[in-house]
Structure 1
Amino acid sequence: MNPGRDAVIVVPTYDEAANIDEVLDRLAAAVPDVDVLVVDDNSPDGTAALVRARPDHGLRCHVLDRPGRQGLGAAYRAGFGWALDRGYSAVVQMDADLSHPPERVPALLEALERSDVAIGSRYVVGGGVENWPWHRRFISWAGNAYVRWVLGVEVHDNTAGFKAFRRAGLIEIGAVDSDSDGYCFQVENTWRAARLGLRIIEVPITFRDRTAGTSKMSGAIVLEAVRRVLLWRWNETFTGATRRKALV
């Protein structure tokens, strides 16, 4: 898939002034002439102002201002809605902390030639994680094992936050109408895509822990994912809901 102005990369930010320029510089080198939407939750460190002050070197940057922190899921829903309203044929999502390698965006877009959803995966051959302490590795491994066991989704990296969607796929899974926040948002969209029979490809990436800024991960985010995954499975198994209704 030729990105050009048909694809947009959605990057949610909160206090990412230490990283945002490098993210955008590397995107400009990796995917010339692509559009980027920075969805900023009123960062006190001036992240949005830095983006607006950048010269246009082929990378066309847009900023969507939000009034404050409302969760990762809410930021992505706002960004996805913005992208769909403007007719983009492909939407990429990625973090602003340099954990997701911008150089792998072309591989995700190329994978959309053969899929509806492309996932930048840490847990397929060729993928990996760098600079994570053992407890973060364990939490990530256990979380993915939990999702596969409870929901039966045959994706190796269900919690991945580096993804690309065809426009039709993004609409079909109802990502703009989902209700998860935190990192559970990633699980929900992968689960919906799998349940609806969409074509999913995992593209290997090396995930590197942030070296600047502060992680937004918390115990509450983990707890939300545990609860919601169980609720989704309960609704599918015991309420007699159809596949479509189970996704609402």
Structure 2
Amino acid sequence: MKTANYGIAIPMANEEEGFASFIESLKDALDNVPGGKVYLVVDRASTDSTPDLCSQLAQDDSRFVYVWAPENRNVVDAYLRGFKEAFHAGHDYIVEMDGGGSHNPAALPAFIRALQEGNQCAFGSRYINGGSLNDSPLKRRVLSKFGSFLARVLLGCPMRDVTSGYEAFTRPIMGKILSYSLRSKAHFYQTELRYLLRKSDWVEVPIHYVSPSPRVSQNAIKNSLQCLFYYTFRRWSGKKDIIR
């Protein structure tokens, strides 16, 4: 695959246990798609050795950048900080990936290829042909599928999977995302982006999603419902919330 100028934003919180295997997989993906740089965003949510592991990796491999962000209040702040680092570094494409092992770095070439083919956004999907949702707790399966169903019905969001956090954007679209005031603070963030970008040139990329954390806080669910009903009310009131 030809060289691409891209950055990957990855929040890293308490990833000590699976760190080595994830990074090895990520290095393989970077070798397959030359030109990438990884922004490892770490904040006070980490209570294990993750900060030290990320800092040492950045010293050993120039493709990795350690980003210490103690000001982060939630995971959305962590993603946005990674986006800002990649955007200000001048990358043509910016990828969002989870650092806990649920997103397989081997899918990276498909995301970069989708953008090189002219799409503005590439969204990871577990619910299209070629995608799958493996080893996930029942609670996460229900929340994911029901969330996607609600978004399609209430928001008119056309994607099959609106809750996956594996996605990629062109630089112009990322600039518009960063200038938009997002409302979500937790899991709904993925759905919010897809809703706002529904009129852009997008494509869904099949992904294999493995073993996410079974924990979803009540505050995260509450925030998701608040954001869902906010955008639903605005849509039914004729408001056009769009990034394109």
SS of 1:78 mapped into structure 2: helix
Unaligned runs of 5+ in 2: none
Q: Normalising by the residue count of structure 1, what TM-score does the alignment of the two structures yield?
A: 0.87
Correspondence 1:89 to 2:72: no
Aligned counterpart for 1:120 among listed residues 124, 132, 135 = 124
1:215: how far off?
Answer: 5.3
* Separation of aligned partners in 1, 2:224 and 2:144: 12
Instruction: Summarize the Cα distance change of 1:3–1:41 in structure 2 as closer, same or farther, 3 Å threshold.
Output: farther
Number of aligned residue pairs: give it: 238
Unaligned runs of 5+ in 1: none
Q: Are 1:21 and 1:51, in contact at CA under 8 Å, matched by a contact in 2? A: no
1:119: how far off?
Answer: 1.0
Which residue in 1 is equivalent to 2:12? Answer: 13
Q: Normalising by the residue count of structure 2, what TM-score does the alignment of the two structures yield?
A: 0.89
Deviations 1:4-36 (A, max 9, x none): 4x1011100111111223222111111224210
* Separation of aligned partners in 2, 1:114 and 1:152: 24
Matches within 5 A, 1:104-183: 104-112=107-115, 113-174=117-178, 177-183=181-187
Q: Percent identity?
A: 26
CA RMSD of aligned residues (A): 2.2
Name the amino acid aligned to 1:51.
C
SS of 1:37 mapped into structure 2: strand
Name the amino acid aligned to 1:36.
V
* Separation of aligned partners in 2, 1:70 and 1:55: 24
Correspondence 1:209 to 2:211: yes
1:216: how far off?
Answer: 5.3
* Separation of aligned partners in 1, 2:209 and 2:90: 30
* Separation of aligned partners in 1, 2:40 and 2:142: 31
SS of 1:223 mapped into structure 2: helix
Which residue in 2 is equivalent to 1:75? Answer: 78
